[in-house]
Amino acid sequence: MFQRWISQSVVLVALTAAVFTAQSTRADTVLITGANAGLGLEFVKEYAEKGWDVIATHRRSDVPESLAAIVRDHPKVKVERMDVADLASIKALATKLKGVPIDVLINNAGIYSDRSGCQTENCGGKAGKQALGSMDYDLFDMTMAINVRGSIAVSEAFIDNVRASKQKKIIAMGSTNGSLTQPLEGSGGIAYRSSKAALHRAMQLVALEEKPQGVIVVVMHPGAVLTDRQLNLFGDGYPGVISPEKSVSGMIKQIARFTLDDAGHFIQWDGAVAPW
């Protein structure tokens, strides 16, 4: 009887130790939206290099070559489809990933324009699609659906995954283009700029709601970053631009140090406080 009790206890202790070891040795997991280009792609590369479990999401019908190339070097990177403007697509991935802890959820997907023709306030004398007098309201609605609703819906759909993780962090990619407390540089960009202002407020509210659950929600400004698309839109001539590598390695450093004291704050890639 005593011997049986001893052997049962030994098995129990061994099982508990195995579960504990599996949990404590599990690599941290990051899920990134809009991961096939620009800052999202750079996040994938850098977290993969660090040995994280990376869930790289994109909205294309086929796996983008940019992500396929990373998977060849980093087989732990999982590529999943998720269009953040499509609630069914978000729900489908959340259902697939039910029970998978997500330490860092990065709401990165965003659009500035529809990439067709002139977008800004002054295009060689012609008004752009985001200026009064020539507003494109389909573009406006799409910008809101992706930049604002997308980040809220993704945060909501994956909240249990984040709550179940060790780090419990949600990042939203804001922009000082949405800052209301600093002077504007030029007019135009109405859809993009107002979407970022709305995103900031939305994520402040999510941060407030989730803080009691231990979830750290932070809005980040990546800097003015010269991604491939920025290069196509604006050329490389505007002042203060930084490389995607500099921006993303800076943001990853900041994300690693965030605690609940940072919840609801707006932080730049280099750790400086960004203006609301």
Ligand X SMILES: NC(=O)c1ccc[n+]([C@@H]2O[C@H](COP(=O)([O-])OP(=O)(O)OC[C@H]3O[C@@H](n4cnc5c(N)ncnc54)[C@H](OP(=O)(O)O)[C@@H]3O)[C@@H](O)[C@H]2O)c1
Enumerate binding residues for ligand X (CB under 6 A): 33-34, 36-40, 59-60, 83-85, 108-111, 146, 173, 175, 222, 224-225, 227, 229-230
**Minimum CB distance to ligand X smaller for 216 or for 226:** 226
Continuous H helices in 34-148: 38-49, 65-73, 87-96, 137-144
* Numbers of helices and strands, H then E, in the chain: 10, 7
Q: How far is the CB of 7 from ligand X (least distance, A)?
A: 54
**Minimum CB distance to ligand X smaller for 34 or for 128:** 34
Question: CB burial class (10 A; 0-12, 13-18, 19+) of residue 180?
Answer: exposed
**Minimum CB distance to ligand X smaller for 107 or for 167:** 107
Q: 3-class DSSP state for residue 255?
A: helix
**Minimum CB distance to ligand X smaller for 163 or for 229:** 229
**Minimum CB distance to ligand X smaller for 36 or for 194:** 36
Q: At a CB cut-off of 8 Å and minimum separation 6, what does 230 contact? A: 38, 241
**Minimum CB distance to ligand X smaller for 15 or for 231:** 231
Q: How far is the CB of 76 from ligand X (least distance, A)?
A: 20
Q: How far is the CB of 206 from ligand X (least distance, A)?
A: 16
Q: Would you give the end-to-end CA distance of the chain in angstroms?
A: 69
Q: How far is the CB of 69 from ligand X (least distance, A)?
A: 15
Q: How far is the CB of 201 from ligand X (least distance, A)?
A: 16
Summarize the chain as % helix, strand, coil (round to 5): 50, 15, 40
Q: How far is the CB of 79 from ligand X (least distance, A)?
A: 12
How many angstroms separate the most distant Cα atoms in the chain?
93
Continuous H helices in 182-264: 190-210, 228-234, 244-257
